[in-house]
Amino acid sequence: MKQYGAEFLGTFWLVLGGCGSAVLAAAFPGVGIGLHGVSLAFGLTVLTMAYAIGHISGCHLNPAVSIGLWAGGRFPANKLLPYIVAQVLGGIVAGGVLYLIASGKAGFDVSGGFASNGFAEHSPGGYSMVAALVTEVVMTMMFLVIILGATDSRAPQGFAPIAIGLGLTLIHLISIPVTNTSVNPARTTGVAIYVGGWALQQLWLFWVAPIVGAVLGAVSYKAIAGEAK
């Protein structure tokens, strides 16, 4: 239960910190942090939680990561479902806290997006469903390669959180214009549930693509590095 609690708390922080930066700070008049700041915020949530709870649960914070680690031989199948449930619940609770904060400002309206992920008319840059699908698959694949490589016993020890956090930052710098960047079904679900409508209708892509990408990442890492250590 300590592991599941850690995953809940860690995913809560990821969604509150990452999506919160997008909703509250990205366009703040005069000092908005923009795309670069939001990208860094997501990376920092993972980096800080990796040091805080990595020794408790492994700090997955992401159903796709848990599945990818299982596919890579690093995680037992019997813990997959509890980890995923804890992660999704953490994301939903964080979305609720963010909603309470954001709605304290006059004129707030979730129809503005609420940091939701989307494609076509709901893509920040107007990218198609195919473009979104390819982006999410490839970005998640590379994220798993980074995670598996950085946490391999043959890699330099103690630096994995930095590599993983910076990897997620880079992923956001690339893909925010396309999908607002998911690579994490719990992150997407955590805010989509409050937006409803189109965000829930398009949610399927942000479950399917990251999971496919995670499995491909695990397969790719095993192909270049041999059995994970």
Half-sphere exposure of 137 (CA within 13 A, CB side): 12
Mean pLDDT of 3-32: 95
The string of pLDDT tens digits covering residues 156-199 is 888 999 999 999 999 999 999 999 999 999 999 999 999 999 99
Question: Would you list the DSSP string of 1-21?
Answer: -HHHHHHHHHHHHHHHHHHHI
Q: What are the tens digits of pLDDT across the range 80-136?
A: 999 999 999 999 999 999 999 999 998 898 888 899 999 999 999 999 999 999 999
Which domains, ranges and CATH numbers included, belong to the chain?
Answer: 2-225 (1.20.1080.10)
Q: How confident is the model at residue 229 (pLDDT cuts 50, 70, 90)?
A: low
59 is written with which tokens?
């700090």
